[in-house]
Every structure is written in C-alpha cells, then in structure tokens.
Amino acid sequence: MKVFLSTDMEGTAGVVDWSQCRGPGTEYEYYRSQLQAEVNAAIDGALAAGATEFLVNDSHSTMQNLRPDDLHGRASYLSGRHKPMYMMEGLDDSFDAAFFVSYHGSAGSTSSVLYHTYNPKAIAEVRLNQTITGEAGVNALVALAYGVPVVLISGDRVTIDEALPFCPDIEAVVVKESVSHNAALSLHPDAARELIRAGAQRSLERLAGFGLPSITSPAELTVRYHNGAFAELACALRGVERMDERVVAMRNDDPLALFRTFIAAVLLSRGVSE
C-alpha cells in the first residue's frame, strides 16, 4: 500500500506566526522539528494499517523543511522549489491514498492562523465550483485526476471545514483552534501527534469505503486577486477568463489541466508580487 503525503507547515500544533515557519532562526528550527514529528506520526499510523511505501512531498515555502534521515517508514523525500505540480508533485495513479498534513485555512477565511491560498500577496479568495476552497480543495483536483482518495487532513478547524465539501469522507484531525490570523489554542504536541497517528491508521483501515474527491466536472476555479494587475496577467493563459476587475475564472473537463492552469496563474502572480 503506497501513500502520498503533501506536507505544509502552518497547520502544525503551536505554529501561529510566519517567523516560526520561515528560516533561518531558532524559532523556525524548533517548529520544523514539530512538523517533522507530525509527518512521522502520520507515517506511523499508516504503517500500523499496513502501508509499505511513502512519498513525502515537502510543500511549504522553499519546500526543504524536513530531515530525510529522520523520516519514518523509509519514506522517499521530494523537496525543493519549482515543482511543476507544486504541492502535489510526485502523485500518480500508483498511489493508494493521499494525506494532507499541517494544512491551513484559505485566503477567504480571516479567522484561520496564517490563512492564505498559494500566494498571500496576490490571491484574496479561491472558489472551486462556487464554494470557497483552501489549498486542500485545489490540490484534490490532482488526486481526482489520478483516481487517488484523499483520506487524511490535519490542521486547524477552519482548514478541516474548508476541505469537507470536496473530501466529505476524509479523516480530519484538528490540532488547534484558531483565535485570529496570528493566534491559536493548540493541543499539546504529544496529543496532536497521537491524534494524527490514530487518524492516519483509521483512514487506511477504512480505505475500501473511500470515494474520490467530490468535485463535479467540468470543474471551475474562480480566483479573486488583491488587484487587477494580477487578473490581467492571468488572462494571458489559455482558458482563463476575466470576470471583473479583480476576478478570473478557469474551467476544464480535465481536473489535472485545470490544476496546471491554476498553478501557472500562481507562478505568474509571483512574478508581480515578489
């Protein structure tokens, strides 16, 4: 049984500030070890349910937050920037399940710790088939394309609530309750890891009952930007339509093609915002 893990960092228990999840610095060093422990807890739970092969795609910031020799389960480690499939790089139809570890609330959710959707400087809100989505819903397009169920997600409660419309069966692990953009009440790290471990195990034990992501086709992503320059740039891409000054829409019968268009729009926006 082969498991794909897409790991972010803002959803780790205790993390509430960018200084904790961007290096260099002692705070970052501490919190990256917390992330590593949560990733390993997910792998441990999967191992207990009989999983045999793991690919961890580091999806946060410069995407090199983990220590490969500390990964459990002899997991392969996909790290580093400029991955064409971004947070879903490495997934294909050979996998049996996908985990989203340490995910965070969307750009549209003002009460979630460190909320954003891909590019906080450019993107104000993303909707998938008219429903506000975080990165989990967007990334689920790739899982749908490859026929892989997304079975586990961890993060704050907002993250979970935003994933449920697209992954209704998902095993959801809430490790903190957001109080504001920069405050949260977190479980003790040991308690958070125990819940992640148990959730991962349970998700694979009931894998046979899982459906694919619930996204009707042709799927549509609507992206609202902070200003019109980003929207104008996105319209240079085939299949992207301007809806108004700051909003574009893209739709496609093929969920993978839709995701690729979205990622291209994100990369274009980085050119303007950085």
Query: Which residues between 28 and 87 bind Zn ion (CB under 5 A)?
Result: 60
Q: What is the DSSP letter of 205?
A: H
- The residue number with the shortest CB distance to Zn ion is 60
At residue 78, what are phi and psi to the nearest 5 degrees? Answer: -105, 110
Shortest separation between residue 131's beta carbon and Zn ion, angstroms: 22
Query: SS3 helix, strand, coil % of the chain, rounded to 5?
Result: 35, 25, 40
Least separation, in Å, of the C-beta of 50 and Zn ion? 30
Shortest Cβ 136–Zn ion spacing (Å): 12
- CB 58 → Zn ion: shortest distance, Å? 10
- Give CA–CA dist 62/164, Å, rounded: 28
Please list, in sequence order, all residues whose beta carbon lies within 8 angstroms of the beta carbon of residue 272, skipping any fewer than 6 positions away. Answer: 122, 229, 230, 233
> Cβ closer to Zn ion: 31 or 95?
31
> Nearer to Zn ion by C-beta: 60 or 260?
60
Distance CA 166, CA 79 (A): 27
* Complex with Zn ion: residue 119 or 222, whichever CB lies closer: 119
Question: Which region, judged by CB under 5 A, interacts with Zn ion, from 2-10, 41-49, 86-94, 213-221?
Answer: 2-10
Given the complex with Zn ion, which of 107 and 204 has the nearer CB atom? 107
Question: Is residue 8 part of the contact set for Zn ion (CB under 5 A)?
Answer: yes
Residue closer to Zn ion by CB (options 155, 231) is 155
Which residue number, 99 or 210, has a Cβ lying nearer to Zn ion?
99
CB of 146 to Zn ion, least distance (A): 22
CB of 78 to Zn ion, least distance (A): 15
Binding residues with Zn ion: total (CB under 5 A): 2
Instruction: Using the structure block, give the residue that is written with the tokens 């999983």.
Output: 51
How far apart CA 114 and CA 105 sit, in angstroms, is 7
Q: Of 206, 208, 188, 185, nearest to 196 (Cα)? A: 188
SS3 200: helix
List contacts with Zn ion (CB under 5 A).
Answer: 8, 60
